[in-house]
Structure 1
């Protein structure tokens, strides 16, 4: 990843720490460059720990030839982000800490890494029966719209929604972490590579040939082990009235 105009990621991270956060106690280099997935447009994700900060913040800038994103915490504020990520089942901060390469340490990083690893290994909370029914209902509703949709531009957006909802359903029903954007399919691939491949084939058939059948089949098979599609008899909030 190094070029004549910029240092390699680890050296660049060290330079960033020395220039922008010289008094921090600890720092980690994380993100795609650490996982070996970096591209020409990848940035550097750097997690900073500074005990004198009153609160966390995020900062982006360009330096040393790199786009850089810094996630800056004190020794307790990162816990709030761990908990928020856990509640959303999208463990962005725990993954960065777990995967991160130590750039600077003051006998805190291994402890934080242990917390991150324990959270990741535990997995997200199990959905309640009410949440499962609600997710089945919304999948059913979007799928019905998709089946009957005759306008290509609307069907494209419905297919995208089905992709997000069905992958979320599969992963959460199997106590797996989820993701957003490109992390949606990566999360499914990490859980079941063959299933992810099948869904990509289904999407490609729709996008290229306007054939809906494989997407419909994928969604129906996703919910079938958990009661199947749900419309008739569904209720939400009725007991509160």
Structure 2
């Protein structure tokens, strides 16, 4: 209650009710803090807001302009930073996921057996994902995704028979610190880094944007120590 300031609730409920995920213990944990979001539609809404405010979105090569630059360029950006500093600052982790057609829009998202099952308001459900440190192809799906699908069906029988609309795979940027990597690009005045979010990057994006805007536009540095670029320059065993 103190952590969530009485605004959200965390409770243990008996399972078995319609719409609840399958639970070996017979109980589920339900909280009202977690939120659902449709990543693609959220990005489209953000792009529309930027353009409505007079901003310009350039896809592909853009001309360099004067002023501060924030490099939020995923795995390519991690590799470029590492090459510039002569250190390994992170790596890519492959994730495979899928979108199925099932209208569960009135139900909460489910996290179970290491999976996220996220209903969207458009009658689709996202299911994912794998977490692969080694792979043969960065952007193709394989039997590992089919195993994820099978686990999702075991947790959420309502998805049984739901058509698979799309399968996809990509590499997510994983900073050496395992946390988002934020702050000034060492040795490059006026250039900044926002990278390394890995699994939590999208969920933390609003706060990351706020912190980076404060730093770049107003010079206020509120970046936690573990999120700084320097945190990924320290040698960590096995990372």
Query: TM-score band, normalised by the shorter chain?
Result: under 0.3
Larger relative contact order (Cα-Cα within 8 Å, sequence gap ≥ 6) = 2
More helix by share: 1
> TM-score under structure 1 normalisation?
0.26
More strand by share: 2
Which structure would you say has the larger Rg?
A: 1
